Chains A and B, each alone.
Chain A
Amino acid sequence: MRVGLLQGTLDLLVLRVLIPGAMHGYAISRRLADLSEGWLSVDEGSLYPCLYRMEKKGWIRSGAGRSENNRKARFYSLTDAGMAQLEVEQQGWLQFQRVVVRILKRA
């Protein structure tokens, strides 16, 4: 069963995926799909507005480059502000997860 992405979690996932290094949009979406092993249902098209929004917020930066098959592509990488934001979002998510698990166990 595939599950939809919770509102606001795409930012967190993208920021996390970008830690190893710069990637283009397609690589990010593939990486997300691989890591979730097909469980997350994400419209790949919604990734790009999200990337643009994060770039405007200064969390990531983009630059032109060449893909593996030598096509022009835009590569995204994490900034210091993005790193800090990732930390904040990660903490928030873990806290949320703990609360949900606690409720499920005790209710």
Chain B
Amino acid sequence: MNRAIDALNEWMQLRARLRDEYQFHLDRATADFRALGLSRRTAKRAAAGRFGSRRNLKHALRELGGDWPGLIRLFSAHRVHASPWFQPIVLVMASLFVLLLSPAPLAVIEGAVGQPLGVADRRAVFISDQARNLSYVGIKKADFESIRALDSLTELERYQSIHARAHARKGISIRAIEFQIRNRTGNPRLRAIPLFERESIVMGPAKAVWGFIGFCSLFFFATSQSSFRWIEYGLAAGCLHSLASLLMWAVVIQRWSRVAWSSDGTALLGFLALSALYLGVVALQCQVWRIGLHRRCPCCLEPLLLPLTEGSADCILMNSATTESVCAQGHGVLVETRWSSQFRPQRSPLQGLVRG
């Protein structure tokens, strides 16, 4: 992490420094051309022409150590550029998936009480005792009487003679209610089940991912002097990746919430395991993007081709194997040594990773 922050810091310093230098250089060149009698506009154009192409600069910057920040900047572009249909299709599919997987929190309660809930029920809290076989067996009269005095509940009444139904005061969470009723009655099996709609998809992490990607997009946009193409690609890719993460998270949470856990402890373990799975998938996704970008030309974004391996896989000290790939347009060369984490002497750089 520290290395990443240092690299970003160094990259930002380099950019700032080069920006100042370029500005100084162009101003001086413009002044010189103006001294020769050119108009301001022509002088500027002449100075920019002599200065050289921005593409070359980008390439040079990448060589200087723009490693991962440079790749992040390019990552949004190359996917959209490579396949104009890929992003919209995935966006639509992801939206449909999220809709199809939209939670049905009431179904659980309806299953417990054995009948569809009425409209009036749908803003209430259902309180019942959960048996070891996970069925709701109702609440004892003594427990019912003892929770009457709770401030967090209003309109407490019997429901189908055995359960209890109440309304929660505004701002009181279900967890807080459950904690209170368990404390008051001393019965750890009592459950408070909301009958009102709630977010059963945990949106927090997805919002965090969305915010992070949005921030990164704007951050890199603000510091990159790029054109609208960047913001267009950046936003499209940001939407895609956020939605992909959201979709994955939704699947994980739906899976988790529909399993009848034998205890809170196992539920927590299940939640943690699925969260780990989610994070693992996201990490894998990032790795694939990174490798995919690493093996694309920084100028034209085309895949680097024609891998040529030299050296020996056995003689790792004196003549270690090195794979060199080139851009078909002649822009870039990628050299990977045996020590590189992505070194695959037997494989084409793009095999199985990205579509060309």
In this complex, the member of A24, A50, A52, A72 whose beta carbon has the largest number of chain B beta carbons within 10 angstroms is A52
The complex places the Cα of A45 from the Cα of B14 at a distance, in Å, of 14
Which B residue sits closest to A44, measured CB to CB? B51
Q: Determine whether A16 belongs to the interface, using a CB cutoff of 8 Å to chain B.
A: no
Whether B14 pairs with A52 at a CB distance below 8 angstroms is yes
Residue of B nearest to A28 (CB): B25
- Tell me if B64 and A45 are in contact (CB < 8 A): no
In the assembled complex, how far is the CB of residue B157 from the closest CB belonging to chain A, in whole angstroms? 76
Contacts of B17 in A (CB 8 A): 52, 74
CB-CB under 8 A from A67, the residues of chain B are 24, 28
Number of inter-chain CB pairs below 8 Å: 58
A48 at the interface (CB under 8 A from B): yes
The answer for the CA separation of A26 and B22 in the assembled complex, in Å, is: 9
Contact at B18–A52, with CB atoms within 8 Å? yes
Contact count band on B: 20 to 34
A-contacting residues, B13-67, CB 8 Å:
14, 17-18, 20-22, 24-25, 27-29, 31, 50-54, 56-57, 60-61, 63-64
Query: Main secondary structure on chain B at its contact with chain A?
Result: helix
Does A46 make an interface contact (CB < 8 A)?
yes
- Name which residue of chain A comes closest to B19, CB basis: A48
Inter-subunit contact B50/A44 (CB<8 Å): yes
Min CB gap A49→B, angstroms: 4
Instruction: Evaluate contact between B50 and A48: CB separation under 8 angstroms.
Output: no
Contact A53 B64, beta carbon cutoff 8 Å: yes
- Cβ-neighbour of A45 out of B20, B22, B31, B63 (below 8 A): B22
Contact of A49 among B24, B27, B61 (CB under 8 A): B61
- List residues of chain A with CB within 8 A of the CB of B28: 26, 67, 69
- CB contacts (< 8 Å) of A50 on chain B: these are 60
The answer to whether A45 and B24 have CB atoms under 8 Å apart is no
Which chain A residues in 68-102 approach chain B with CB under 8 Å? Answer: 69, 71-74
- A33 and B221 CA atoms in complex are apart in Å by 35
The secondary structure that dominates the A interface is: helix
Q: Is the CB of B52 within 8 A of A45?
A: yes
A81 to chain B, nearest CB (A): 19
Would B56 and A45 count as touching, CB distance under 8 A?
Answer: yes
Given known contacts A43-B56, A44-B51, is B22 in contact with A52 (CB within 8 Å)?
A: no
Q: Is A46 within 8 A of B60, CB to CB?
A: yes
- Asked, given contacts A44-B51, A44-B52, whether A49 binds B25 with beta carbons under 8 Å apart, the answer is no
Cross-chain contact A71 with B24 (CB below 8 angstroms): yes
CB distance from A11 to the nearest CB of B (A): 13
Q: Is the CB of A26 within 8 A of B25?
A: yes
With both beta carbons as reference points, the residue of chain A lying nearest to B25 in the complex is identified as A26
| B52 / chain A contacts, CB cutoff of 8 Å | 43-46
**Residue from A44, A53, A69, A72 in contact with B25 in the complex, judged by beta carbons closer than 8 Å:** A44
CB of B29 within 8 A of CB of A26, answer yes
Q: Which residues of B contact A49 (CB under 8 A)?
A: 18, 57, 60-61, 63-64
CA A71 – CA B54 in complex, angstroms? 25
A-B contact pairs, 21 of them (CB 8 A): A24-B24, A25-B21, A26-B24, A26-B28, A29-B25, A43-B51, A43-B52, A43-B53, A43-B56, A44-B25, A44-B52, A45-B56, A45-B57, A48-B22, A50-B60, A52-B17, A52-B64, A53-B63, A67-B28, A69-B28, A74-B21
By a beta-carbon cutoff of 8 Å, the part of chain B in contact with chain A is: 14, 17-18, 20-22, 24-25, 27-29, 31, 50-54, 56-57, 60-61, 63-64
Identify 11 new A-B residue pairs, CB closer than 8 A, beyond the known A43-B53, A43-B56, A48-B22.
A26-B24, A26-B25, A45-B52, A46-B56, A49-B57, A49-B63, A52-B64, A53-B63, A67-B24, A72-B24, A73-B24
7 nearest CB pairs, A to B: A43-B52, A49-B60, A45-B52, A26-B28, A45-B51, A26-B25, A44-B51
